[in-house]
Structure 1
Amino acid sequence: MVFPQSTTIRCKKAAQSSCLPFHCSPIRKFSPLSLYYFAYGSNMNPERLVARGVTVLEAQSAYLPDVALRFNKRSATPGCGHANVCYEPGGRVEGVLYRFGADDDFRKLDRFEQTPVNYSREILPLVADGVSHRAWVYIGNRAVLAEGLKPERWYMKHLLAGAGFLSDAYLQFLLAFDCIEHDPQDRPLHL
């Protein structure tokens, strides 16, 4: 992984880890809204974003208020679901607030998220470092949602790779999910 010298990714726990290729602390100055993305699913794994060709300049812990995490976005594997957020008063979904290098980074990510077919990209309010902000968030489209789905273990590992950005309680919440043991080699190549 190659990051520009100015790259800093910020989180509260990552300083303890040599796994992240960037620095972690609160984003000091917010640039234009178009560059901010909140990840609550597999994109909490910074290496996944890099592999997808996205330029990440900074990141920090954040949460979406009044929503709940669901794995109700159908995946290509029958019975399996990918992360989605649903309205739930008083709920809270933790994740990573990223600042991208360019607007083009969203076009790259839209391709992987299969936007607008599987997910739409919406601007939602969130809280980072105790301050309210707004950022782009992917929301599963109704046509691809189903109840009774479970995440695959390989998929959950991407969420857990963002552990440095999550509270201990939220990390335990993720670890408690019942996952399906499928090998990612078994999934279709288009995902």
Structure 2
Amino acid sequence: MPFSNATGASILLRILLWKLGFEWANLMRLINPRTEQKIYYFAFGANLSPHILKQRNMTVYQSIDYALEDAALRFTQSGFYKDHGFASADHAPGEKVYGRLYLIKQSDAARMDYYEGVPFLKAHDKVLGEYNGLPFYYYRARTITQDLKPTQEYLDYLTDAYHEMDIVPKSYTKAMEATEVLNTRQPLTITGKFIDNLNRWPTALHPLLIKYEGLCRKTVERFWNSSLLTWMIKD
């Protein structure tokens, strides 16, 4: 099956729709700033950092230290570079993921979906849980990739939060601090986010498709935390 202009255009359209949807979600938050509908969101990655929440203009009305049962924190969400990974709460009976339940507005939850690449990019699945009879949600990598590493900056977001949380065992924090990190940012050598099932394409096209995947991911990275409207959002 040759890689056609239509295939490339459909991929770029996904990125464009993601960005337009992102700005639409920001606009809806601006139009309805006083909405009272709220939901709990379980954060276990970069969103544990107050700096990231501030950067994204997320208002947290309540924060509860929480351990998600039957899940394990693993860096299996493929990132922007070779061997680069983000955290995912992967299914793992008997294990726990430590994080925080944030009570946020539904309109901010919609915005968070775009930060986590749920609409159009299909990076995460949105998983539902229950806390004291109330619903919460969290994100899990849709495609699990093994042997990935977080950057030191990203890992620090997690471990800095762990030091402030009484529910996190010191041994767990210490083990997490010893995680091997990504020291160099090299071009991707895999596909999966935009080019599905590389092996179904002719072998001669693989280098081109890998480069195209990298270009698409760099485009997403460029616009990930940029917005024309986010700075206008207030409590």
Unaligned runs of 5+ in 1: 1-30
How far 1:173 sits from its partner (Å)? 2.6
* Other structure's SS at 1:48 match: helix
Larger radius of gyration: 2
Please, which of 102, 125, 128 is the counterpart of residue 120 of structure 1?
A: 125
Whichever residue aligns with residue 146 of structure 1, its letter is T
Q: Distance in 1 between matches of 2:173 and 2:155?
A: 11
Alpha-carbon contact 1:38-1:137 (below 8 Å) kept: yes
Please, which of 81, 95, 106 is the counterpart of residue 91 of structure 1?
A: 95
> 1:45 maps to which residue?
49
Q: Please list the CA deviations of residues 120-149 of structure 1 after superposition, one character each: whole Å capped at 9, or x if unmatched.
A: 2221246xxxx676411011112xx31111
Q: Distance in 2 between matches of 1:106 and 1:182?
A: 33
Q: Distance in 2 between matches of 1:190 and 1:118?
A: 15
* Other structure's SS at 1:108 match: helix
Q: What is the TM-score of this pair, normalised by structure 1?
A: 0.70
Question: Which has the larger share of strand?
Answer: 1
Runs of 4+ in 1 over 3 A off after TM superposition: 131-134
* 1:130-141 correspondence runs (5 A): 134-141=135-142
Change (3 A) 1:182 1:39: farther
Alpha-carbon contact 2:39-2:135 (below 8 Å) kept: no
* Other structure's SS at 1:155 match: helix
* Other structure's SS at 1:162 match: helix
Q: Distance in 1 between matches of 2:184 and 2:223?
A: 17
RMSD, matched Cα: 2.2
Q: Distance in 2 between matches of 1:170 and 1:60?
A: 19
How far 1:71 sits from its partner (Å)? 0.2
How far 1:98 sits from its partner (Å)? 0.8
Alpha-carbon contact 1:68-1:92 (below 8 Å) kept: yes
Q: Distance in 1 between matches of 2:159 and 2:147?
A: 22
> 2:107 maps to which residue?
104
Alpha-carbon contact 1:52-1:108 (below 8 Å) kept: no
Unaligned runs of 5+ in 2: 1-35, 186-217, 225-235
How far 1:171 sits from its partner (Å)? 1.6
Question: Which has the larger share of helix?
Answer: 2
Q: Please list the CA deviations of residues 13-46 of structure 1 after superposition, one character each: whole Å capped at 9, or x if unmatched.
A: xxxxxxxxxxxxxxxxxx97x5101111111112
